[in-house]
Structure 1
Amino acid sequence: MSIFNQLYDAKKQYEEVAEIGTGAYGTVYKARDLETGRYVALKKVRVQTGEDGMPLSTIREIAMLKQLEKFEHPNVVRLLDVYHGGRTDLETRLTLVFEHIDQDLSTYLEKCPSPGLGPEKIRDLSRQLVCGVDFLHSHRILHRDLKPQNILITGRGEVKLADFGLARVYGFQMALTSVVVTLWYRAPEVLLQGRYATPVDMWSVGCIIAELFTRLPLFRGTSDIDQLHKIFDIIGLPAKAEWPDSVSVPWNAFRPSPPRSLKKIIPELCEDSADLLQNLLTFDPSQRSSAQDTLSHGYFKTEDGQSVI
């Protein structure tokens, strides 16, 4: 059986209510499911078409995302349906139907009144974020674009990751619109155009957890190089021996700088949260804490040593 439904069926089942926004790969609409009355998010995207139609790799990626549904993990957004909307020689139109959640983490933090989130709320949101990433990584899925705009918060305070795995679905094509791509959560190995794997998501997790404390991004670069300067200004320039081979920028393009204390930069950090961030914001991906290791960190333990999972 095909993993795709026909777009005609989508038009019969879903009534578009409002445009939510235009992202890097397409437009998202809020829509009503005419059968159940519940709201959904329709993400309309275009996938590059080859000589033989949609690439097999794309079909496999979508099938994998649909397979995740059976787990119903509380910290990932549910992909409810995928509709095929016809194709041309250049592209295939798809409509992906997700559960709809009104608020992302960026909006949530903007609305948060002073003095900000309390320590237990930050711990809870952080734990849910890492749980979602751990679930994806355990199924060999990289998110690749973790940022507050891709982390949704329900009215009950549940964290749900959105847009995971979609870079593979889109075949790494360039953005269809002139959307500004945020560099602030990108790992050094991505900025250096080196090889990367699951640790890229853990760098982003570290950036996001830091932002929960301050409600401001930790590294706010204006270009790839400026972003690296901002990163090394805090974590320090790594030793030349740690610099990866065959990357786009040489080590000596950056001024030597020692690492700075995260607790001085973010006074709200406790010893455990500072250590957690230190483990995540590590230049060498092989030394960066994994999602599973992060969940076992003392920051997520209760006073009697039990994990808060």
Structure 2
Amino acid sequence: MIGRAHKDRSLCVPAARAMTQECRMQYEPVAEIGGGAYGTVYKARDLQSGKFVALKSVRVQTDQDGLPLSTVREVALLKRLEQFDHPNIVKLMDVCATIRTDQETKVTLVFEHVDQDLKTYLEKAPAPGLPAERVKDLMKQFLCGLAFLHSNRVVHRDLKPENILVTSRGQVKLADFGLARIYSCHMALTPVVVTLWYRSPEVLLQSTYASPVDIWSTGCIFAEMFRRKPLFCGDSEVDQLGKIFDLIGLPVEGEWPSDVTVLQNAFQNRTPRPIEDYVPEICSQGAELLLQMLTFNPLRRISALKALDHPYFHEG
């Protein structure tokens, strides 16, 4: 994402070193609030300001000089985005690097703390679920944050309700963007079971991918806001693709990516079903937008910026 930054060693690394001791003394963990493939997440108190923060730590491999340069590049990008202070992006407040061994460095990212994610928010909503106007407001904020990331050439790659935070005032903030490569070393060392439910067809097929992968995930989450349960719950890549094709139909052979080993004829032919069969509460404009997000061909999938201009957000 910032491929030419590898020459900035003298600029980035001393800053990470300088913050190490200060970070150790500044943040006091108060509770474990999450865990998974990337390590444990803690709620902590900033002893200087008294405010709560979220601490996310990961172990990364270092080069011959003991410096996690790929991580420094990714963090530099996150810090650059922070300068824009976007209302729908979680704030990266600090970075701490602690040398553990000659081959490994512990990097702790300090984010603003938000009490709940979208998964929790949806679970707490009283029956029959969120009002249609609330879904529209959440989705508009979500797309504003995503359009900002994409305009800065950042692909999230792991959008799901757990990575979308909702403040007590109903403000949406995207979290864990741009961290996939930071986490890749740790993931290689950890038995990881990542949910398939929000993955785009091109990722499931192991084809090349870009920012449209995030739009597919957004469509899955959009439907889930109405349903209060995931749209596609596959238990393998093939099963997930089958559940997707049950809704959108089996793509024609000309639409099938050429750089994959799984062939189109490996799946049973099926025709598209009305989106209302799956999301009965959605309005006609919302259904149209959702189908533009859940388009098999990533080149024809709607962008975040164009989605914000969709009539769904401008109808009365």
TM-score for both structures, normalised by structure 2: 0.92
Q: Show structure 1 runs of 5+ residues with no match.
A: 304-309
Give the aligned residue type for 2:49.
Answer: T
Determine which of 276, 292, 308 is the counterpart of 2:305. 292
**Matched residues in 1 for 2:163 and 2:52: separation?**
18
What's the secondary structure of 1:75's corresponding residue? coil
Determine which of 237, 248, 272 is the counterpart of 1:224. 237
**Matched residues in 2 for 1:176 and 1:156: separation?**
39
**Matched residues in 2 for 1:216 and 1:229: separation?**
18
1:267 aligns with 2:280: yes
Deviates more, 1:176-185 or 1:88-97: 176-185
Contact 1:24/1:175 (<8 A) preserved: no
Deviates more, 1:216-225 or 1:244-253: 244-253
**Corresponding position of 1:24:** 37
**Matched residues in 2 for 1:134 and 1:70: separation?**
16
Determine which of 190, 197, 205 is the counterpart of 1:184. 197
**Matched residues in 1 for 2:223 and 2:292: separation?**
12
Give the CA deviation at 1:171.
4.0
1:37 aligns with 2:50: yes
- How many percent identity over aligned positions? 61
**Matched residues in 1 for 2:300 and 2:23: separation?**
46
**Corresponding position of 1:88:** 101
1:156-305 matched pairs, under 5 angstroms: 156-171=169-184, 174=187, 176-303=189-316
What's the secondary structure of 1:208's corresponding residue? helix
Give the CA deviation at 1:53.
3.4
Give the aligned residue type for 1:166.
Answer: L
Q: Show structure 2 runs of 5+ residues with no match.
A: 1-10
Give the CA deviation at 1:264.
2.4
Contact 2:63/2:69 (<8 A) preserved: no
Between structures 1 and 2, the one with greater helix share: 2
When the two chains are superposed, the root-mean-square deviation of aligned CA atoms in Å is 1.5
**Matched residues in 2 for 1:251 and 1:54: separation?**
45
Deviates more, 1:257-266 or 1:144-153: 257-266
**Matched residues in 2 for 1:258 and 1:89: separation?**
56
Give the CA deviation at 1:58.
2.6
1:58 aligns with 2:71: yes
Give the aligned residue type for 1:24.
Answer: A
Contact 1:76/1:160 (<8 A) preserved: yes
Give the aligned residue type for 1:290.
Answer: S
What's the secondary structure of 1:174's corresponding residue? helix
What's the secondary structure of 1:7's corresponding residue? helix
What's the secondary structure of 2:49's corresponding residue? coil
**Corresponding position of 2:6:** none
**Matched residues in 1 for 2:258 and 2:212: separation?**
18
**Corresponding position of 1:99:** 112
Give the CA deviation at 1:245.
1.0
Determine which of 126, 132, 142 is the counterpart of 2:145. 132
Contact 1:105/1:149 (<8 A) preserved: yes
Structure-2 change in CA distance of 1:182 and 1:70 (3 Å): same
Give CA-to-partner distance per residue, 1:217-268, whole Å, 9 cap, x none.
0000001111111101111110011110121311111100101110222111
Give CA-to-partner distance per residue, 1:71-91, whole Å, 9 cap, x none.
110101000000011142432
**Matched residues in 2 for 1:140 and 1:187: separation?**
18
Give the CA deviation at 1:22.
1.2
Give the CA deviation at 1:181.
1.0
**Corresponding position of 1:307:** none
Contact 2:60/2:185 (<8 A) preserved: no
Give the aligned residue type for 1:252.
Answer: N
**Matched residues in 1 for 2:143 and 2:151: separation?**
12
Give CA-to-partner distance per residue, 1:92-141, whole Å, 9 cap, x none.
11010000001000011111110100010000000011111001001110
Contact 1:46/1:92 (<8 A) preserved: yes
1:62-73 matched pairs, under 5 angstroms: 62-73=75-86
Give the CA deviation at 1:70.
1.2
Give CA-to-partner distance per residue, 1:260-297, whole Å, 9 cap, x none.
11022211111100000010000000000000110010
**Matched residues in 2 for 1:106 and 1:191: separation?**
23
